[in-house]
Amino acid sequence: MKTLLTIILLSLCLTVEAKEGLFLCTKVPPAIQLRMAGKSCPEGSEVNFDDLRYLVVTYTDFKGHRAFGEIVCNKAIADDLIYIFKELYEAGYPIRRVRLVDSYGGDDELSMADDNTSCFNYRNAVGSKKLSAHAHGMAIDINPLENPYVKGDIVKPAAAASGKDRTQPHAISKKDLCYKLFKSRGFVWGGEWRSAKDYQHFEKK
């Protein structure tokens, strides 16, 4: 089933003209739900797939090449993400990679350390016993290695210690297109939080 879906996606991607982007939004296909089970949907999690959407987006990677990514998000922000990723792609905004966190067994630290942009993950917020906005698919993390979570000496992912330096390439700031697009669609940026700074994180309430 997973192979079949990959073939369908690949053939869809191949039919897209060289520079054209592919942007799709569907209900979460059964094959993807299976992929998520026990990973971004741990056993016992209260996930209602009717509230989620599966997106395929096109982006420009760090080498300037066109690439295709998958996102699972809440249906409430699906249109926002399609709009934002279209705008980012048209502007050539560089994103390292966009995979489901299930490619990392649902392990957010591994996903972040691989600089993976991802959205839905049924997990608690960092350092909290409360569910994260990611557990509802209402938050997305962009280029996390360059845009870590920072609270005092705590840096996540741990591999991103240099990401505390906000002058390096791909660091999101208020001048950034990514920041402007998310703000224009009513998202909050973790880089503007008071205590901890979560520079990769955009969330809609």
Q: How far is the CB of 76 from Zn ion (least distance, A)?
A: 16
Q: How far is the CB of 167 from Zn ion (least distance, A)?
A: 22
Of the pair 66, 151, the CB lying nearest Zn ion is at 151
DSSP 8-state secondary structure symbol assigned to residue 122: -
Interface pick for Zn ion out of 96, 197, 201, 204 (rule CB under 5 A): 201
Q: How far is the CB of 157 from Zn ion (least distance, A)?
A: 12
3-state SS, residue 18? coil
Q: How far is the CB of 139 from Zn ion (least distance, A)?
A: 5
Q: Residue 3: what residue type?
A: T
The Cα–Cα gap between 62 and 116 comes to 12
The Cα–Cα gap between 89 and 134 comes to 23
Of the pair 35, 201, the CB lying nearest Zn ion is at 201
Q: How far is the CB of 151 from Zn ion (least distance, A)?
A: 13
Interaction of residue 80 with Zn ion, rule CB under 5 A: no
> Contact at 8 Å (CB) between 155 and 164?
yes
Of the pair 58, 116, the CB lying nearest Zn ion is at 116
DSSP β-ladder status, 201-203 and 139-141: antiparallel
The Cα–Cα gap between 198 and 134 comes to 13
Tokens standing for residue 48: 């209602």
Of the pair 21, 191, the CB lying nearest Zn ion is at 191
Of the pair 136, 201, the CB lying nearest Zn ion is at 201
The Cα–Cα gap between 29 and 127 comes to 32
Near Zn ion by CB under 5 A, which window of 14-22, 25-33, 38-46, 141-149?
141-149
Interface pick for Zn ion out of 102, 108, 115, 141 (rule CB under 5 A): 141
The Cα–Cα gap between 150 and 81 comes to 25
Q: How far is the CB of 66 from Zn ion (least distance, A)?
A: 25
Of the pair 141, 146, the CB lying nearest Zn ion is at 141
3-state SS, residue 180? helix
Binding residues for Zn ion, rule: CB under 5 A, are 139, 141, 201
